[in-house]
Chains A and B, each alone.
Chain A
């Protein structure tokens, strides 16, 4: 609680105590006839002013500034009216409970505000630089690109950069929601906002503080509320019309029925009707609506960012909840976007491999497949082509399984024994020829083998992948299949979308038809469009947009590479694994901090939950109020029910709104 709130609490307690005491004092027995009423009136003013003086002041000010019909005005009129009618207890109680409600609301909003800022606590306050052998703390804003900064264990990395010295594990949970620490070493790129857990790091910065990941994300989160949802705008407009409307109806309720009664010859019963009108005013206070709707959205956005899902505004949360079509990119979104060895098919009749196998069998027991991969990887050991890298990595993995290899050797490929390789010749567009263990080896495509007049037998080929042919000792030795690997959660992600009632899951890709269809079948996408250029993707999305019903939402999910135009064109653009990709963060409406496709359905589910809470609150608050207004007009509802309709509804709506925080 802030000091302001503590002061308010004290006022509430004081007023409540006074009120209780005065209620219990039997004034009429203690004092003679005209005096008991007067004293009673005077003493009840004490708790009334203690708890409500600021409301009265605000109400007067709002009238002077011609800003009538706000909450304070409603409360002032209602309580002054009640006291004027001699209902002192009710008058004080309304003010008291109104303030309790306001206090509760303030505390609840402050709490959710804090819990969200805590979880987005990635703003680095300082950076360490080494000066004359000592560490100096400086403002991260002053660090120039290329400066070496020092990050101690437990500190936040202030600026994006590359590690020049040291190794450690990083806690990225504030950024990605991922709880597993990431291990980093010399040469690793690191992003700001991560917490250095174990080792001292020296980092050479690669950008300025303002351009760093942490600053960008904070900027995004802090400005997220700026795009307001339809529901929020509805409520603001509603409150603007509703409050004056209620005031005029209250006035009518106070004046018209007594006049009518007067005309038809009955007693006018002014007091009854004015009191009913006052009850009406108390019930009508729109605060439950005005606070709970934005609070629900705020909590929803906060809950999502805790999961590594950044939503740029409540309007996007609202649109996202109506998702009916999900369109996604293949490479990097549903697949890893990297090449991996997925199959090794050694030829049965290569003499060299056979001889090697027979000789080595007794010693190491390594398979024909491993031998083939070994030859291919060694021949390619000097190349940095993605396909070569994947061969090398597969070979190293194989080695690790066989014998002890250090982590460092894996990372920089020193595990590969370069001395076994000589006479390497890289033929661009074909492959590599080299001599490994004094045996000539060819690794490459069909053209390369033809060039060296090696016959390739007719073998079953997998169409959706890249095939590398290997020849050892001048004759064909087999093929190695390399393909992009589908992310482990991709199929589950599509399945959970289908379970949510999203029938259309369309995959767009620039890849060949075979490759696209193989992946689509594997993950269970309902439709696939292949061989698309980036501009074709925009056309495809536009076609789908034209076909859907206007109320439905089309979501496009991409990894942010080359698909910024599509991200912008879709109803909701979701950029995935977007850390570090500026264009994607700019263009997207929702940013997934890591690249897990399951987050897509999670984001949609969160948005639905948030919107459900919003509608619950709208219907509940308006429903209860209308009912109580009706009861109040008929004289069934008394002031105490009115207090519930005002404060009680607000408290319930706020508690409901906070539920959106829990993902």
Chain B
């Protein structure tokens, strides 16, 4: 399953870091962050609960770049 989320982040490098963090989160098969359109596209693994996974993704993203936001 794929879902797109709106995000808020200040720099391109930070967006890349968010992408890394999201990818490393459990339940996420793949994630792409587009700094230009301020969108995060997440592909979830089979059977994962998007809501719970995204909470964790946001937590992990905050860890690498605390000035970021994902609008869930």
Q: Taking beta carbons and an 8 Å cutoff, which residues of A are in contact with B?
A: 58, 61, 65, 67, 70-71, 102, 105-106, 109, 112-113, 222-226, 228, 236, 239, 286-287, 290-291, 294-295, 297-298
Contact = CB atoms under 8 A, between A and B. Distances in A.
B12 to A, nearest CB: 5
Interface in B19-42: 32, 34-39, 41
A296 to B, nearest CB: 10
A106 B10 contact: yes
A225 B33 CA distance: 9
B11 to A, nearest CB: 7
Interface string B33-68: 011111101000000000000000000000111110
A31 to B, nearest CB: 40
B13 A71 contact: yes
B1 interface: no
Given A67-B17, A225-B39, A226-B41, A291 B12 contact: yes
Given A109-B36, A225-B36, A290-B16, A71 B66 contact: no
A239 B13 contact: yes
B13 A290 contact: yes
Contact of B34 (A61, A225, A286): A225
- Nearest first, the 5 A-B pairs at minimum CB distance are A225-B34, A298-B36, A291-B12, A290-B12, A226-B32
B41 A295 contact: no
A600 to B, nearest CB: 25
Given A58-B67, A102-B11, A290-B11, 19 more contacts: A61-B66, A67-B17, A71-B13, A105-B11, A109-B36, A113-B36, A113-B37, A225-B36, A225-B37, A226-B32, A226-B34, A287-B13, A290-B13, A294-B12, A294-B35, A294-B36, A295-B12, A298-B36, A298-B37
Contacts of A109: 35-36
Contacts of B35: 109, 294
B18 to A, nearest CB: 11
A614 B38 CA distance: 21
Contacts, number: 60
A71 B63 contact: no
Nearest to A228: B32
Nearest to A65: B63
Nearest to B17: A67
Contacts of A113: 36-38
A70 B13 contact: yes
Contacts of B12: 287, 290-291, 294-295
A604 to B, nearest CB: 22
B64 A71 contact: no
A532 to B, nearest CB: 36
A71 B11 contact: yes
Contacts of B63: 65
Contacts of B38: 113
A119 to B, nearest CB: 14
Contacts of A236: 16
Nearest to A293: B12
A198 to B, nearest CB: 34
26 contacts: A58-B66, A61-B66, A65-B63, A67-B17, A67-B65, A70-B13, A70-B17, A71-B13, A102-B11, A109-B36, A112-B36, A222-B4, A222-B37, A223-B41, A225-B36, A225-B39, A226-B34, A226-B41, A236-B16, A239-B13, A239-B16, A290-B12, A290-B16, A294-B12, A295-B12, A298-B36
A286 B17 CA distance: 14
Q: Which of A70, A102, A239, A297 has the most C-beta atoms of chain B within 10 angstroms of its own C-beta?
A: A70
B39 A222 contact: yes
Nearest to A57: B66
A372 to B, nearest CB: 59
B36 A65 contact: no
Nearest to A286: B13
A223 B11 contact: no
Contacts of A65: 63-64
A80 B16 CA distance: 27
A235 to B, nearest CB: 9
B61 to A, nearest CB: 11
Contacts of B32: 225-226, 228
Nearest to B65: A67
A297 B36 CA distance: 9
Nearest to B35: A294
Contact of B11 (A112, A291, A297): A291
Contacts of A71: 11, 13
A577 to B, nearest CB: 26
Contacts of A294: 12, 35-36
Contacts of B65: 67
Contacts of B39: 222-223, 225-226
Contacts of A106: 10
A225 B34 CA distance: 6
Nearest to B40: A226
Given A65-B64, A290-B16, A295-B36, A223 B10 contact: no
Contacts of B66: 58, 61
A287 B64 contact: no
Q: Which of B17, B32, B34 has the most C-beta atoms of chain A within 10 angstroms of its own C-beta?
A: B34
A189 to B, nearest CB: 30
B67 A287 contact: no
A287 B11 CA distance: 9
A298 B39 CA distance: 13
Contacts of A223: 4, 39, 41
B20 to A, nearest CB: 9
A236 B36 CA distance: 15
B4 to A, nearest CB: 7
A294 B11 CA distance: 11
Contacts of A222: 4, 37, 39
A408 B31 CA distance: 54
A116 to B, nearest CB: 8
Nearest to A301: B36
